[in-house]
Amino acid sequence: MNLGFFASHGGSNMQALIDATKRGELEARPALLISNNRNSQATVRAQQEGMPFLVMNSVTHPDFEALDQAMLDALREHQVDLIILAGYMKMIGPKVLEAYDNRILNIHPALLPKFGGHGMFGQHVHKAVLEAGETVTGVTIHLVNSEYDEGRIIAQAEVPVMPGDTVESLAARVLKKEHEFFAKTLQDVASGKLEL
């Protein structure tokens, strides 16, 4: 199973999955990173891992349709089977969505459908969870479609909200769970235990 990653910033989930493949916990091959940000930590990680990466955005491809097609061409060239969104902050174009229907996965730092939708990413999610007085949050792995956070849910894991939690402490606990849970869920896909 060849994995293609889309990342805008840190790419820590991508790194966690690469590390899981190295440990033999995930039967997959990191095949390509596409980033919209040439200064992202994700591109540095890809370089360090010897994984091919491309910077593709509105600067490299001012026309959105051309960008969508170029991304699709790159994914096909690197024989990507499954696309993993690892903190990718842009919409996926219709050509990539259609070609990879039911093969694009995102991880969200809350239990969808709660705390999802446009603008709900990163610290915004954890802040909303704390403000709502939730006692449990978690991570959701879902398929990606043309609407933010509305694709079919594949797997979820709970994370407790502790008394006295700050946005930062909660974010750290959720991220740790993301790193473990994404690899486990993808291995279930690779082994045929979980069907997309």
Match 């919409």 to its residue by tokens. 91
Task: Output the CA torsion sign for 75, 108, 188, 41.
Answer: positive
Q: Count how many Cα atoms sit within 13 Å of the Cα of residue 164 in the half-sphere of its side chain.
A: 0
3-state class (DSSP) for residue 73: helix
Least Cα distance to 34 among 9, 59, 61, 7 occurs for 7
DSSP state of 93: P
3-state class (DSSP) for residue 105: strand
Match 């690899």 to its residue by tokens. 183
Tell me if residue 126 is catalytic.
no
The reply, when asked if residue 13 is annotated as ligand binding, is yes
Least Cα distance to 182 among 120, 128, 108 occurs for 108
Q: What is the 3-state secondary structure (H, E, C) of 83-110?
A: EEECCCCCCCCHHHHHHCCCCEEEEECC
Strand order across the 153-160 sheet: 53-55, 29-35, 2-7, 82-85, 104-108, 136-143, 153-160
The reply, when asked if residue 35 is annotated as ligand binding, is no
Which residue in 78, 108, 126, 142 is the catalytic one? Answer: 108
- Which residues are documented as binding site for (6R)-10-formyltetrahydrofolate? 106
Q: What residues are annotated to the active site?
A: 108
- Which residues are documented as binding site? 11-13, 106
